[in-house]
Every structure is written in C-alpha cells, then in structure tokens.
C-alpha cells in the first residue's frame, strides 16, 4: 500500500502533504535539515480497492430499516455451505448519514476463489437505509492467484 501522507521538511518549514499534492500544512521546523518521511496510514476511502458492483443487477431489496440486514440480503450467503465456510459482518458508522457494511466470506467451495469480501455503503432515505454503492474483492486459492484481497481474477 502506498503511503497516503508524507511529512516533508525543507528549509525552515515542516509540512504534511497528501499524496497527489492535495494539501500542505506548513509548520516551523527547528533545524535546517531537508528530509522526507513517509508514514503508512489507513485508507479512509478504500472504494478504490474494490471492483464496483452494478446495483441494478442485484436481485434483492436495497432499502430497509437495518443496514446489516439490507447488505446481507444482497450479498450474503443464506444457503448452507460445505466445509469450513464462515461469513463475518462488520458495520461501521463514519457519520450519522452513512453506514459501511463489510461482509467477508471465507472457505468458499470453489476451485479458484477462497474468499469474497464486499463493501456496502448505505445512506438514510425516508427513515430507511439505502445501498448507494457496493464493491467486491476476492482472495484466491493457493496456486490460483493472489493470496491477498484483490480485484484481480483468480485463475
């Protein structure tokens, strides 16, 4: 993962620069040394790490009272699975106007795909929650592609 921010020290200023140059916050520097330090941070908008899903192709209700239930009805697996299948759900609330549901499915009975992970973003509308964006990642079986979460197809 690329660092999202760099601390840049040059001349008598120290600054925080977002990768891509979107912001620079100058602060006084105590020495005249010029140096750059990169800090890895958590990506606060990880949509880029997922393949977008066309919501019009989802055959499920995308609006409801419970964000977790809405996400699971669209992307969860309700039928019994063979083997060591497990499905984990995490709900985040970055604000009152947004919920992010992450569904992680591991131990899939598939020759190529070992796991799927969905990111489902919901916003309130008319006293309910509505899916506004969804994306998918996968993790491949050994010798079938990436062992990390990726958007690349498994072999």
What pLDDT is stored for residue 80 in this prediction?
A: 83
Confidence of residue 54 (pLDDT cuts 50, 70, 90): very high
What pLDDT is stored for residue 21 in this prediction?
A: 38
Tens of pLDDT along 61-95?
999 999 999 999 999 998 888 889 999 999 999 99
What pLDDT is stored for residue 82 in this prediction?
A: 82
Angle, CA of 32, 40 and 123, to the nearest 5°:
125
At which residue do the structure tokens 């063979």 appear?
Answer: 82
Residue 67, judged by CB atoms within 10 A of its CB (0-12, 13-18, 19+), counts as: buried
Tens of pLDDT along 2-52?
343 444 444 444 444 443 333 334 444 444 444 444 333 344 448 999 999
What pLDDT is stored for residue 49 in this prediction?
A: 96
């Amino acid at each position: 993962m690329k660092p999202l921010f760099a601390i840049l020290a040059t001349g008598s200023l120290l600054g925080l620069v977002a990768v891509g140059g979107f912001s620079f916050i100058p602060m006084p520097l105590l020495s005249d040394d010029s140096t750059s330090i990169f800090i890895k941070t958590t990506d606060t908008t990880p949509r880029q790490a997922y393949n977008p899903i066309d919501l019009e192709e989802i055959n499920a209700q995308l609006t409801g009272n419970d964000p977790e239930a809405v996400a699971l009805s669209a992307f969860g697996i309700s039928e019994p699975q063979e083997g060591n299948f497990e499905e984990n759900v995490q709900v985040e609330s970055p604000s009152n106007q947004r919920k992010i549901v992450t569904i992680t499915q591991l131990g899939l009975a598939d020759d190529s795909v070992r796991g799927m992970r969905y990111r489902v973003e919901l916003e309130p509308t008319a006293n309910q929650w509505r899916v506004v964006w969804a994306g998918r990642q996968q993790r491949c079986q050994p010798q079938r592609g990436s062992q990390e979460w990726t958007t690349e197809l498994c072999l």
